[in-house]
Structures are given as C-alpha cells and as structure tokens.
Amino acid sequence: MKAFNLQSIRFRISAVILAGVVCSSLLLQYLWVPRVTNLFVEASERELTRDIEILSDGILPFLLSNQIGAVYETLETVENRYDNWVQLNLISATEEQLYPRRLEEVPSGPNLITENISIEFQGQNYGKLTVIADLGPVIDKLQGEIVRMALIGFGIVTMTLIAISVLVDRLVTRRLILVADAADEMADGNFDVSLPEGRDEIGQLADHFHAMRRRIQDQTETLNVAWKRAETALDARSRFLATMSHEIRTPLNGIIPTAELLAETELSEEQRQKVDIILTSGKAMTSIVDDILDVAMLENGKLVLQRQEFSPEAICAEVFDILRYSAEVKGLELVKSCEISPDLMCWGDANRLRQVLINLFGNAVKFTKQGSIALKASVEDAGQGRVKLFFDVSDTGIGIQKDALDRIFNRFEQVNGDITRQFGGSGLGLSIVKSLMDAMGGSVSVESEVGAGSTFKLELELEKSTKATKAVRSRYPTPKAVADDTVGADRSALIVDDNEVNLTVASKMLARFGFDVDLANSGLTALSKAGKKKYDLIFMDMHMPEMDGLVATLRIREGNGPNAKAKIVGLSASVQTEDVEKCHAAGMNDFLPKPLRAERLQAFLAEWEEENAA
C-alpha cells in the first residue's frame, strides 16, 4: 500500500471538491442569502405602500360622511385578512384615536416594516393611517427554502465531483501507478510485471511502455551476455597475466642469480660487460613482470591491503637509500627533506606506500638528465587519532606536456613515442601508483612544466599508532643491510625446490656465505631430510607437485622433530599478498620472492644474523 501522497491526482481532485463546497457555503451565507432577503423586503415594502393607498382610498368616503362605525368595520376586516400585519392604526386630523379604539403598544423587532399615509381630500387632512407588518416568518421560510435548495445543489455537485474523482482514480491514477510500479520493477531488473490494458490514452501509453520494455529487456540481455563475456575475458586475461608472470619469473630465477654468481668470478673486461648486460636486462624484466602482476591483481580486485604498524619516516629513508645509487650514477643532486618525526608510527600498508614512492622516485631519476631530484615529506594532524601524510617527489627533468597530464595515470599511457623510445618503460607504473593510492584512500596529482621538471604529490590519511614499534622490514634490500660473508659458517641450510636450476642457483648463493647446504627436490624428500638432521635455515618452495611447501612446512612443524622450531623461509614467484599470508599461516617464519636475488638474500641474512645475535 502506497503512503498518502499530497501530490496525487486523487488528493488534488478531493481538495478541489472540498474547496468548492467551502467557498459555495461562504458565498451562500454571506452574499446570496442577505441579497435575496433584501430584495424580498424591498418588494414587501412596495406592496405594503400599494395596499395602504388602496385602503386609505377605501375609507375616505366614510370619513367624509363621518361614518366612523363603517371606517372601523372596514379596517377591522382588512386587518384580519393580512396575517403579517401586526398593527393597523388610524388617527383623525385632530389626533383622535379612531382605530383601534385604544392604541396598543407599538411592536418592535428586526423584520418589521412600517408604512404611513395621510388621508387628504381637496387639500384638507382627514387623518393618518399607519400599518406595521412583520416579515420575520416569511423571511425565515424563504431563507430555509434557500438553504434547502442550496444543500440539494451542493449534494448533487458533490456527488458528481466524487463520481469524477472515483472515475479519475479508476481510469487514470491506478493505471498510472501500475505503469510507475512497472518502471520501478524494471529498474530492479524485473521485466515480468503487469501493465494496464485498454484502448484509451493510458492504454496507449501502456502499449508504448510495453514496446520500450521489450527493447530494454532485449538490450539488457545482450548487455548481460556481453558483460559476462567481458568479465570472463578479463578474468582469463588476469589469470593469464598472473600465470605468465609466474612462468617468466621462474626462468629469471635461474638467469639473474647465475649472472650474479658469474659476476663474482674472475672475468675478462668483455665478459664482465656481457654479464652486466644480462643482469641489467634481467632486472628490468623482473620489474616489468612485477608491474604486470600488480596490474592483474588490481584488475581482478585481488589486491588485499595489509594493516601493519610502520614509520613513514623510515619508508622515506629506505626509498631514498634504494634510489640513491642510480641517481648518483647519473650525477643528479639528491635532496631529502623529511619533516616527519621518526617516532610517528601509523597503521597502513607500508610495502604499498614504499612501492608508490619508489615508482615516482624511479621515474624522477629516469626522466632527469641533469639537475636534482627531491623527496619532501610532511605530516598534519587530521584529528580523531589520524594523520595526513604529504609526499612531494620533484625533479628538474624533461617535464610533461599539459595535455598529457591527465592521461599519464591511465594504463599503458605514455606521453609520446619519442620519449618511450628514448627512456623506455611500459606505461604501467603511474596507473599502478594511482590504483594503489585510490585503494589506500589517498590521492596522487602532478604539476609539471616541459623542460623545467615535474612534481608528483601524494596525500594519504592514516590512523596513528600509539605504540612505538619497530618498523616493518622492507621487501627491498637497502645498502645498509649487507650480511657478513661468513654468516653461514658452521651452519646448515636445507633448500627445497622441484626445479633443478633453482636448487643449483640457491645452493651456490648460500654456499658463498659458508653454509653447509642440503638439497631436496620434493616436499616428501624435504620431510625425510628434515626428520633426520637439524637445520639452521630451511628455504621452502611453495608450489611443488605431490606435496607442496605449505603441507611440508605443516608436517615439519608437527611433533617433536629436530626442525619443529627451525626458521623456515617460503620461496615463491607468486608474490601476491594472499600467497605470503598462506606461507605464514602454514607456519613459515618469513618469505622471499623469486627470483632470489643476491642483494635480497644478503639483506635477509643480515637481519637473521641480527636476530641470532639478539
């Protein structure tokens, strides 16, 4: 049942009827009834004047002949004939009372009319005749009759209007409501609703509506099919991208560490140059694969932000350290101005914020040939235990044309082909930055002038942490974190991986630090080896046939085996947050992404050494 609607046609017609009845009543009472009464009184006065003139003419001969008895009889007869005459009075010229014999008190009242006439003959006065008539009963009767007639009129008009209102309700309002309800249902995707029928205008409207509904239904079905296809295609594309990036990472896991190991051997100048090329290209490829993986994740909504306590100041320092080398190689001046206190701890996804800053800072280095690049950070209190962080990454590089400023945040968009040819790049970085900032509830903007440089500005509001905790460890190695070459002396490590290349590369990398390395090419072999010997470190690949690294870890942790409490580090080319979380849930202590890079392993071992020393 619909709520009472003041705008409805039904209500409006009822209101008009009511207003009409009220106005007519007021008109009747204050205008029509008084007017009719006045007309009646005027007519009665005229009639009384005529009557009294006839009467005076009638009694004149008796007065002339002094027949007072005849005068009396005539007046009495006439007075009795007129019901509404309340007094008839005749006095002689000498003021003598002739009729009635004794004058009664003069009556008074609202509806009395009085008429006088002097009875004269040939200039001589013979008396004065006065009549007082009471119009009250007749006026009451007349007004009653008017009201009765008016009520009958009102009744007829009201009934007619009510009938019109009911008809409008049946023929128009209810049927229009049906059309409106059908439109509502259609908006909710329900096309199976009844519509009013008929050959009148509303029936025609319903027919047009029905035709429109059929067209919309057809189009919606077509759209749904296209949408499902697009969704499936997008899903397939994202899965393909994720799988491909995993598949590309696996061989990279062989190429980069092997090249790194090769670089540490004695090489001729020419050989060193070639190894450097392999390393630079491999690293560039890893970064592209990382970007593609992020895009795939953002596209299918799989991005899960972590909630961890971190120090924004530490993130700035790390980003600065990570890119310092590449900027210095290009001879660029580096400026860092961080106005954020090292004590400020916030809740948020530190890794994603770091990734955004590295991306912007990396672009600043890439697109600047000379001059400086600067990282400026500041904080503002946002109230209610929250802070607003501001980061400006500016450079004195090539700048960006005005018309390209909006485009560059779109996926695969670059300013133009010349720049791409000169500086390289996939056009994914800034789109990832924008998506990550959106996901974190922040924003990114850019100001730039061609030839003068660019400034990328980040704004991010985060919850403040009250505890002073240690900042989360960076997924990125910093130059500070370098492990001692002898960190593995007198220590043993087990490497578990179903890929022979990975096993060889990892064992060589660990052997370099003095570890006694054992290898297992399956989860089952790892279980059996871990059951017999205690290891200081176990590197466990996540994806393996038969028994994967997660199950193998769970089994090693069960019971009182020699490695129930060993440090187990997950290895995987799948570096999505959910994969990392799975490793932790299975009981792994840490996670390192593949391809395993020498500097990343070094950073990890440095921290491990620190933990052992503590």
Q: Which residues bind ligand ADP (CB under 6 A)?
A: 363-364, 367, 395, 397-400, 408, 414-415, 419-420, 425-431, 454
CB of 394 to ligand ADP, least distance (A): 8
Q: What is the rounded CA–CA span in Å between residue 510 and residue 488? A: 8
Task: Report the alpha-carbon distance of residue 80 to residue 76 in Å, rounded.
Answer: 6
**At a CB cut-off of 8 Å and minimum separation 6, what does 119 contact?**
56, 59, 60, 63, 125, 126, 127, 128, 129
Return the number of the residue (28 or 404) whose C-beta is nearest ligand ADP: 404
Q: How many residues are present in the chain?
A: 614
Q: Are 10 and 173 in contact (CB under 8 A)?
A: yes
What single DSSP character describes residue 4? Answer: P
State how far the Cα of 485 lies from the Cα of 467, in Å rounded to an integer: 36
Among residues 419 and 551, whose Cβ is nearest to ligand ADP?
419
Instruction: For residue 325, count CB atoms less than 10 angstroms from its CB and return exposed for 0-12, middle for 13-18, buried for 19 or more.
Output: exposed
Find out whether 400 and 415 touch, Cβ atoms under 8 Å.
Answer: yes
Question: Closer to ligand ADP at the Cβ: 320 or 539?
Answer: 320
> What residues pair up with 439 in beta bridges, in sequence order?
none
What's the min distance (Å) between Cβ of 364 and ligand ADP? 5
Q: Minimal distance in Å, beta carbon 252 to ligand ADP?
A: 19
Which of 98/430 has CB closer to ligand ADP?
430
Smallest distance from ligand ADP to CB 503, Å = 34
Q: Between residues 399 and 442, which has the closer beta carbon with respect to ligand ADP?
A: 399
Nearer to ligand ADP, 314 or 430 (CB): 430
Tell me whether residue 209 or residue 367 sits nearer to ligand ADP (CB atom).
367
What is the rounded distance in angstroms from the CA atom of residue 120 to the CA atom of residue 63? 10
Please say whether the dihedral angle defined by the alpha carbons of residues 207, 211, 217 and 223, taken in this order, is positive or negative: negative
Rounded to 5 degrees, φ, ψ at 125 are: -85, 130
Q: Which is nearer to ligand ADP, 420 or 469 (CB)?
A: 420
Nearest CB to ligand ADP, comparing residues 131 and 295: 295
Q: How far is the CB of 395 from ligand ADP (least distance, A)?
A: 5
Whole-angstrom Cα distance, residue 336 to residue 48? 118
Cβ burial of 406 (10 Å; 0-12, 13-18, 19+) is exposed
Residue 575 burial (CB < 10 Å; 0-12/13-18/19+)?
A: buried
Between 120 and 413, name the residue whose CB sits nearer to ligand ADP.
Answer: 413
Q: Tokens in use for 99? A: 């009729």
CB of 428 to ligand ADP, least distance (A): 6
CA distances from 33 to 22, 154, 323 (A): 16, 15, 101
- Tokens describing residue 493: 């490590």
SS3 for 324-370 is HHHHHHCCCEEEEEECCCCCCEEEECHHHHHHHHHHHHHHHHHCCCC
Nearer to ligand ADP, 272 or 411 (CB): 411
CA proximity to 425, closest of 408, 447, 403: 408
Give backbone dihedrals phi and psi of 402, rounded to 5 degrees, phi first: -55, -45
Under 8 Å between Cβ of 20 and 157: yes
Q: Which residue lies nearer to ligand ADP by CB, 364 or 387?
A: 364
Query: What amino acid occupies position 207?
Result: D
Give the tokens for residue 7. 């705008």
φ/ψ (deg, to 5) at 155: -55, -45
To the nearest 10°, the Cα dihedral for 601, 607, 613, 614?
Answer: -160
Q: Which is nearer to ligand ADP, 455 or 504 (CB)?
A: 455
Q: Please, what is the minimum distance in Å from the beta carbon of residue 370 to ligand ADP?
A: 13
Instruction: Provide the minimum distance between the beta carbon of 599 and ligand ADP in the complex, in angstroms, as a whole number.
Output: 23
Nearer to ligand ADP, 87 or 435 (CB): 435
Q: Which amino acid is at 452?
A: A
Q: To the nearest whole angstrom, how small is the minimum distance from the Cβ of residue 427 to ligand ADP? A: 4
What is the SS3 assignment for 547-606?
Answer: CCHHHHHHHHHCCCCCCCCCEEEEEECCCCHHHHHHHHHHCCCEEEECCCCHHHHHHHHH
Taking the least distance from each CB to ligand ADP, the nearer of 238 and 363 is 363
Least distance between ligand ADP and beta carbon 281 (Å)? 16
Q: What is the spatial distance between Cα 535 and Cα 527, in angstroms, rounded to a whole number?
A: 12
Q: Choose between 182 and 430: whose C-beta lies nearer to ligand ADP.
A: 430
